[in-house]
């Protein structure tokens, strides 16, 4: 648990004028009120309010919000009262704590009529003071991070509520970073197999292609340097849930997704944003229809950025977002940017809109509505900006992704309706099947007996359900032709590598690729859904002719040391190849290598003569670089063995392991793993994160350890 001094230090990072005494009093009061209470994980309950407060410091929020986080469960779960909180901490904080308590008591996943009324109460509470919902969102985020300690049925209920209500609410308020994490944590509970599958595919992709993010980021930086533009460039792989949703909407296999990586360029001015856009379009080919200028046309929540998709290295599509630093603060924090502090003062961000206006308009517009279901649907129309809600002729609501067509609507009702669709009426007018539907429209599907899906429908449909049904129908119609063509393609591909496409070989390939049988494999080959080369590679991976590069001498892994100069890696940050590094000279110890972002370097800022410019030798390093991992696992039979096996499968060696904390349900342990480089570290951590019995995982860095 974070102690009070550390929490105050987090606040002082952005607000040196913080009222430390107030935070100390709130910390002490909350700890005393929650004394003797424990979470399901076995931890003292007060660890939760403290963690919520720490999450809110990341948004640079004011003292009142931080104190509210520390006290947010006192009125509900302890003998504390509203009057007592008001007497001790003032009416403002008491109102905020009471507001959070009322939100906590709303059963948002109850029946529709009750849910609508509670939605109304939630919006009214938000309109009174937005900080209430900021605390509630942080509260939900920490609960989702620690959800493994709950019973399975409660995990599913909380995760569904998070996916349906809190994640979209965070997104509608512009808090995209929080929305992404909430969605992914809920996804981990609701569909762990799909999430683990995507993570495993990421690991395989990185083995095949290397660190794509690092290479593309370096390419963009180089082009900007040539143009004399000062900007920061960041890249990352998209979250598993974001990838899965795109796979479902577009009915694409993981291997066919083109934009699983995203890149951001942060500039100093709006003019530089457009200069960066020009540089990127000159260097890489822009993808038509994938350009959006939210700087000239901002979103209603204040979001501003330029989005463009280009064909990068090896023809891979990558999305690039370009924005200024102030735009980036709003894009990351949304409503929180309206409250954030810097150097003890409220930050005036010209791009931060007041979301209270949106909430006030929403509650005013529907405050007099008597029909609960109508109110709920209208709220959802406002909140779920990435979805479309259409009505059947009977008045039932059909939920579709943004950009959906009447074909998607028809298949959402029933596959039979979709297959026999010939045209559609929208608001009483006949429209083409490729028409993009809008919120609130009434749609009627016209069918005809004997109608069959057309090949062109695949490009018209947007949803995975519609595309899958269309392709299935087309496959069944042309199955025999595709099977025959697939046999010929397989024969040629196998003969090309000196092998035969025997029945057993094809059965093995089908089983390995997760395809039901040989006939289905051949049909997919013939329809070009999979390539013959992929089938061959599945059975004979050695024919891919991949030879590992010669390893670098473990005795001289870095460049920049004097001849014979001794060195070693710092214990505090444990840098590995692939990370930026710097050396610090120590009398009698030679050079100690630190990661460039190691906090321990702060004490040497006034001693530039001790700094040594270093970088890792290019090439493949041996797995001799030890990194500590802080892992929390379920206390169940065989879990530790599976964790060790997973690490071994990544060709990493466990050099030490010891338990830090033992609880009835969980163990926390430090595992020291010998690794090659930062990519190897990423692969190990990704594989561990995919394991359902791993509750938490982080790289452990201990600044108390001497360099």
Distance between CA atoms of residues 455 and 468, nearest Å: 12
Q: Which residues contact 312 (CB under 8 A, 6 or more apart)?
A: 216, 219, 284, 318
- Measured CA to CA in angstroms, residue 369 lies from 117, 128, 378, 383, 530 at distances of 11, 20, 10, 18, 53
Q: How far apart are CA 376 and CA 334, in angstroms?
A: 24
Instruction: Map 416-454 to HEC letters.
Output: HHHHCEEEEEECCEEECCCCCCCCCCEEEEEECCCCCCC
Under 8 Å between Cβ of 62 and 11:
no
CB atoms near residue 565 (< 10 Å): 12
Contact status, residue 318 vs residue 264, Cβ threshold 8 Å? no
> SS3 of 92, please?
helix
Beta bridge partners of 341: 346
Joined tokens for residue 45: 């309950």
Backbone angles phi, psi at 548, to 5 degrees: -65, 140
Which residue blocks in 435-517 are alpha helix, DSSP H? 457-460, 464-477, 479-496, 503-512
Reduced to 3 states (helix: H, G, I; strand: E, B; else coil), residue 266 is strand
Please state at what angle helix 131-145 crosses helix 91-105, rounded to 10 degrees: 50
CB neighbours (10 Å) of residue 450?
6
C-alpha dihedral sign at 620, 623, 629, 632? positive
For residue 543, what is the DSSP state? G
- CA of residue 424 relative to chain centroid, distance: 37
Q: Which residues of 338-361 are buried (b: 16+ CB within 10 A; e: fewer)?
A: bbbbeeeeebebebbbebeebbbe
Half-sphere exposure of 318 (CA within 13 A, CB side): 28
Cα 532–chain centre separation: 34
Between CA 196 and CA 135 the distance in angstroms is: 30
Contact between residue 376 and residue 399 where contact means Cβ atoms under 8 Å apart = no
Does 329 participate in catalysis according to the annotation?
A: no
Active-site hit among 77, 259, 672, 693: 77
Dihedral over alpha carbons 218, 219, 221, 223 (to 10 degrees): 160
Rg (CA), the chain: 28
* Torsions phi, psi for 422 (to 5 deg): -115, -30
Report the SS3 class of residue 191.
coil
Selecting among 19, 43, 76, 693, the annotated active-site residue is: 76
Q: Are 117 and 50 in contact (CB under 8 A)?
A: no
Torsion-angle region of residue 15: left (phi > 0), alpha (psi -120 to 50) or beta? beta
* 3-state SS assignment for residue 319: strand
CA 125 vs CA 107, 122, 421, 661: distances in Å = 15, 5, 46, 40
Query: Token pair of 155, please?
Result: 């995990």
Q: At what angle do helices 47-57 and 4-12 cross, to 10 degrees?
A: 10
**Residue 503: active-site member:** no
CB atoms under 10 Å from CB of 5, counted, come to 12
Q: C-alpha distances in angstroms, 148 versus 103, 379, 641, 686? A: 23, 31, 19, 18
Reading the block at residue 538, the tokens are 């599945």
Residues belonging to the active site = 76-77
């Amino acid at each position: 648990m974070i102690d009070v001094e550390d929490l105050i230090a987090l606040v002082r990072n952005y607000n040196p004028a913080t009222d430390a005494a107030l935070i100390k009093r709130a910390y002490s009061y909350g700890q005393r009120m929650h004394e003797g209470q424990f979470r399901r994980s076995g931890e003292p309950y007060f660890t939760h309010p403290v963690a919520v407060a720490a999450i809110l410091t990341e948004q640079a929020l004011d003292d009142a919000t931080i104190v509210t986080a520390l006290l947010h469960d006192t009125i509900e779960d302890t003998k504390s009262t509203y009057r007592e909180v008001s007497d001790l901490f003032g009416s403002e904080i008491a109102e905020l704590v009471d507001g959070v308590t009322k939100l906590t008591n709303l059963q948002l996943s109850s029946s529709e009529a009750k849910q609508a009324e509670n939605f109304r109460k939630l919006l009214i509470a938000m309109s009174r003071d937005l900080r209430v919902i900021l605390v509630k969102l942080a509260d939900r985020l920490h609960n989702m991070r620690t959800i493994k300690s709950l019973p399975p049925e409660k995990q599913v209920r909380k995760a569904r509520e998070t996916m349906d209500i809190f994640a979209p609410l965070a997104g509608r308020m512009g808090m995209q970073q929080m929305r992404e994490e909430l969605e992914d944590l809920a996804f981990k509970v609701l569909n762990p197999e799909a999430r683990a599958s995507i993570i495993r595919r990421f690991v395989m992709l990185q083995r095949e292609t290397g660190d794509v993010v690092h290479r593309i980021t370096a390419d963009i930086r180089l082009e900007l340097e040539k143009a004399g533009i000062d900007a920061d460039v960041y890249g990352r792989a998209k979250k598993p849930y974001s990838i899965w949703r795109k796979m479902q909407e577009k009915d694409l296999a993981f291997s066919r997704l083109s934009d699983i990586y995203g890149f951001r360029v942060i500039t100093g001015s709006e003019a530089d944003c457009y200069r960066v856009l020009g540089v990127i379009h000159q260097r890489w080919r822009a993808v038509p229809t994938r350009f959006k200028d939210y700087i000239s046309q901002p979103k209603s929540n204040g979001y501003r950025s330029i989005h463009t998709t280009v064909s990068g290295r090896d023809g891979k599509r990558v999305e690039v977002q370009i924005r200024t630093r102030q735009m980036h603060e709003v894009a990351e924090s949304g409503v929180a940017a309206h409250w954030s502090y810097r150097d003890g003062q409220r930050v005036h961000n010209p791009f931060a809109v007041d979301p209270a206006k949106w909430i006030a308009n929403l509650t005013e517009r529907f405050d007099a509505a008597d029909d609960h279901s109508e109110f709920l649907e209208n709220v959802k129309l406002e909140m779920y900006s990435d979805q479309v809600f259409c009505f059947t002729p009977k008045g039932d609501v059909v939920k579709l992704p943004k950009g959906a067509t009447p074909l998607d609507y028809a298949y959402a009702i029933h596959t039979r309706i979709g297959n026999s669709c010939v045209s559609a009426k929208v608001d009483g007018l006949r429209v083409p099947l490729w028409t993009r539907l809008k919120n609130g429209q009434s749609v009627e599907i016209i069918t005809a007996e004997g109608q069959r899906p057309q090949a062109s429908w695949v490009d018209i449909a947007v949803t995975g359900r519609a595309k899958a049904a269309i392709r299935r129908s087309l496959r069944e119609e042309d199955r025999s032709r595709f099977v025959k063509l697939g046999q010929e393609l397989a024969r040629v591909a196998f003969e090309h590598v000196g092998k035969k496409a025997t029945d057993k070989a094809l059965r093995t390939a089908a089983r390995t690729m997760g395809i039901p049988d040989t006939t289905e494999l051949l049909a997919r080959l013939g329809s070009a859904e999979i390539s013959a080369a992929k089938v061959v590679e599945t059975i004979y991976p050695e024919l891919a002719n991949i030879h590992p590069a010669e390893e670098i001498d473990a005795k001289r892994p870095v460049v920049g040391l004097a001849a014979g100069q001794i060195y070693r890696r710092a214990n505090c940050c444990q840098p590995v190849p692939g990370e930026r590094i710097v050396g610090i000279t120590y009398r009698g110890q030679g050079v100690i290598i630190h990661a460039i972002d190691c906090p321990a370097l702060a004490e040497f800022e006034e001693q530039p003569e001790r700094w040594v410019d270093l970088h890792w030798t290019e090439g493949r390093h041996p797995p001799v670089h030890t990194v500590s991992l802080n892992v929390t696992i379920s206390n169940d039979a065989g879990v530790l063995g599976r964790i060790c096996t997973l690490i071994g499968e990544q060709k990493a060696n466990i050099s030490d392991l010891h338990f830090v904390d033992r609880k009835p349900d969980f163990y926390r342990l430090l595992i020291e793993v010998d690794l090659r480089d930062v990519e190897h570290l990423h692969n190990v951590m990704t594989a561990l994160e995919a394991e359902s019995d791993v509750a938490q995982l982080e790289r452990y860095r201990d600044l108390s350890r001497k360099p």
